[in-house]
Amino acid sequence: MEIENLEFSSSNEDLKANPENQNISENSPILKKATNNKGYVISVISGKGGVGKTSISTSLAWVIAKKFGLKTLLIDANITSSHVSSFLRIPTIYTLNDILEENTIDFSRIQTYDNVLHVITSRIIGKSYYLDVESMKNIVDRLRESYDVIVLDSSPGIGNETLASIEASDTCLIVTTPYFPSIVDVIRIKEVLEQLREKRARLIVNMIEKKIYELSINEIKYATGMPIIGVIPFDENMIEASARGNLIARYRPGSRFAKSIEKIAYQIISERFGIDYEENIFKRILRFFYSR
Ligand SMILES: Nc1ncnc2c1ncn2[C@@H]1O[C@H](COP(=O)(O)OP(=O)(O)OP(=O)(O)O)[C@@H](O)[C@H]1O
Ligand SMILES: [Mg+2]
């Protein structure tokens, strides 16, 4: 379902007219949890910066919310260099910084994207915070009660923000590109962060172009000793989408990037919510496609 002739809004002036902004409210619609389970928390991390964490986590969270009908929250846990609000082109109305400052969560202020995805952004500028492991874990544990799935877009490397995301999550997706330096960083974080094994961390290999100088999937598996949950090709649609603040999974659902994200989402959700849920998901996906 390629939307080839889609018009992207292109200037800052268009921002006001961007349909995204019309979906943002300070009061989230009451979305019902689809399951009785406590929220499943997925952190998206990386050894190296700029490998695609925000690109992946924003689309992954939206796909889980929109196509799988699960009550989903995306948190910008990259408090020092936050990008979620610019990828979704939404204002930072209620942020992780506010929650840390106020030491409480005001659910009525959590923003909504496209009426289905709840989002807690981080401030783009202003006072920076030391995001400690304990505070993040407490915040996320509180939020688990109200969501089926929580996706954390983390910062790169193994600083305190990344550690906080890992500790607060049930599973980690480690994003890497198929290049040597990025793979070395995966090995580094794997060696340093013992918890990654407990959390069943898996790799997403992003920006694959099948160039001669890239490491192959088998070489990456062998070098890192880690399972791979998904591979995502280099896709120019992604660069355009992030530059324009249009979520790729939503506006380019037929793109290779979006399709790869759907596969990853399907794997995570079916493994977490089981076969019965898988059948439901299948019906929902069909309904989604045929209702468009
Ligand atoms: N599969 C892809 N194909 C082409 N471009 C991509 C792909 N994935 C990500 N990008 C581009 O790479 C750039 C960096 O992506 P992104 O911001 O998601 O990385 P990040 O890991 O979140 O970075 P940071 O470490 O700074 O948080 C963006 O411009 C994005 O559009
Ligand atoms: Mg990022």
Sheet holding 149-156, edge to edge: 111-113, 117-120, 72-76, 149-156, 40-46, 171-176, 202-208, 228-233
Residue closest via CA to ligand 1's atom 26 equals: 50
- CA dist 85 and 24 (Å) reads 11
Residue ranges making up the domain that contains 143? 12-290
The answer to whether residue 96 is domain-embedded is: yes
- Residue 96 to residue 75: CA distance in whole angstroms: 8
pLDDT band at 273 (very low <50, low <70, confident <90, very high): confident
Dihedral sign, CA of 159, 161, 162, 166? positive
User: Is residue 30 assigned to a domain?
Assistant: yes
- Of the listed ranges 17-26, 82-91, 164-173, 254-263, the least confidently predicted one is 17-26
Closest ligand 1 atom, residue 232 Cα: 1
Per-residue model confidence (pLDDT) at position 2: 31
Would you say residue 41 lies in a domain? yes
Rounded to the nearest angstrom, the distance between the alpha carbon of 62 and the centre of ligand 2 is 16
pTM for this predicted structure? 0.88
Please report whether residue 232 resides in a domain: yes
pLDDT, tens digit, 9 for 90 and up, residues 148-169: 999 999 999 989 999 999 999 9
Q: Give the pLDDT band of residue 1 (cuts 50, 70, 90).
A: very low
Q: 230 in a domain, yes or no?
A: yes
What average pLDDT does the segment 182-197 reach?
87
Residue nearest to atom 8 of ligand 1 (CA): 52
State the residue for tokens 């929220």: 39
**Overall number of domains in the chain:** 1
The answer to whether residues 144 and 150 touch, using CB atoms and an 8 Å cutoff, is yes
CA–CA gap between residue 190 and residue 118 (Å, rounded): 31
**280 in a structural domain:** yes
Distance 17 CA to ligand 2 centre (A): 25
Can you give the CATH number for the domain in which 101 is found? 3.40.50.300
